[in-house]
């Protein structure tokens, strides 16, 4: 049986199944994100269109919410647009990192929008500070924050994993495991996985730099 560490190390974009995500905005506009040739293509389609994805689509609502911490949740755009689900989990804050998904209940929750494309070359680390600040502010106010993107699989999962690595000072492997246990469907794209590894290396390097020189000499 492969360990989680081996599974993460062996992660390859080539092993991912092809997928597309259908987004319906509050105005009725329909957008489809499709993986093709290792890139994500965004297109707008007519409401009456037959799909155009080339793949079998799962149009059922995904209301499963991953409870990473009692105050930190991870889910899809469907959960973010279902008021009963949000109230059930006592959500007070919503971090929306999707592309083309509008906020549904502006008078009910505190929102923050950051449009992030689910592309391996997207520098998702550059969004970490403002995302982490919003999540931390929700926690300080005894709130419950839901982090979501379109499918709640890649972008939002990466943000939550990075947040745990930073706030809990744990490794990428440990953070990935915690988030995957809460929401088994997570699958950050290969670029985000590499960036999370880089993020861990930078944190380890910074931690070492903060060790007093005498202490470093004693450990060498």
Mean pLDDT of 133-153: 97
**Residue tagged active-site, from 20, 53, 131, 149:** 149
Q: Could you tell me if 23 and 118 lie in one domain?
A: no
Q: Is residue 132 part of a domain?
A: yes
Chain centroid to CA 18: 19
pLDDT exceeds cutoff 70 at 218: no
pLDDT at 122: 97
Mean pLDDT of 166-182: 97
CATH number, position 125: 3.90.190.10
Contact (CB, 8 A) for 21 and 40: no
Q: Could you tell me if 27 and 69 lie in one domain?
A: no
Distance CA 150, CA 33 (A): 9
pLDDT at 3: 60
Please say if 53 is a catalytic residue. no
Q: Could you tell me if 95 and 202 lie in one domain?
A: yes
Task: For residue range 3-12, list pLDDT tens digits in order.
Answer: 656 655 555 5
> Which has more pLDDT, 65 or 48?
65
pLDDT at 52: 40
Q: Is residue 107 part of a domain?
A: yes
Cα-based distances in Å from 63 to 7, 111, 150, 174, 189: 27, 19, 12, 25, 22
Q: Could you tell me if 37 and 110 lie in one domain?
A: no
Q: Could you tell me if 197 and 96 lie in one domain?
A: yes
Domain holding 146, by residue range, is 65-207
Please state, as a whole number, how many other Cβ atoms lie within 10 Å of the Cβ of residue 36.
Answer: 11
* Residues of the chain above pLDDT 70, percent: 67
Q: Is residue 122 part of a domain?
A: yes
Chain centroid to CA 138: 17
Q: Is residue 70 part of a domain?
A: yes
pLDDT at 172: 97
> Which has more pLDDT, 212 or 32?
32
Q: Is residue 155 part of a domain?
A: yes
Average pLDDT score, the chain: 82
Cα-based distances in Å from 177 to 25, 68, 96, 142, 164: 32, 10, 23, 25, 11
Q: What would the two tokens of residue 74 be?
A: 């991870």
Task: For residue range 81-103, list pLDDT tens digits in order.
Answer: 999 999 999 999 999 999 889 99
Task: For residue range 23-57, list pLDDT tens digits in order.
Answer: 555 555 556 666 555 555 566 554 444 444 433 44
């Amino acid at each position: 049986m492969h360990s989680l560490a081996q599974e993460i190390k062996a992660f390859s974009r080539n092993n991912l199944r092809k997928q597309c995500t259908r987004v319906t905005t509050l105005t009725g506009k329909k957008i489809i994100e499709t993986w093709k040739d290792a890139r994500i293509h965004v297109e707008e389609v007519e409401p009456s269109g037959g799909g155009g994805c080339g793949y079998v689509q799962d149009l059922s609502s995904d209301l499963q919410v991953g409870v990473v911490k009692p105050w930190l949740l991870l889910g899809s755009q469907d959960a973010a647009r279902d008021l009963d689900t949000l109230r059930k989990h006592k959500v007070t804050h919503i971090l929306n990192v999707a592309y083309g998904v509008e906020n549904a209940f502006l008078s009910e929750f505190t929102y923050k929008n950051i449009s992030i494309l689910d592309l391996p070359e997207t520098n998702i680390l550059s969004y970490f500070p403002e995302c982490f600040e919003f999540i931390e502010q929700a926690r300080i106010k005894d709130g419950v924050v839901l982090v979501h993107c379109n499918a709640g699989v890649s972008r939002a999962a990466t943000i939550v994993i990075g947040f745990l690595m930073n706030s809990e000072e744990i490794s990428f492997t440990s953070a990935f495991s915690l988030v995957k246990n809460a929401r088994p469907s997570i699958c950050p794209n290969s670029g985000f996985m590499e960036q999370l590894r880089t993020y861990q290396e930078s944190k380890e390097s910074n931690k070492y730099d903060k060790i007093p020189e005498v202490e470093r000499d004693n450990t060498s």
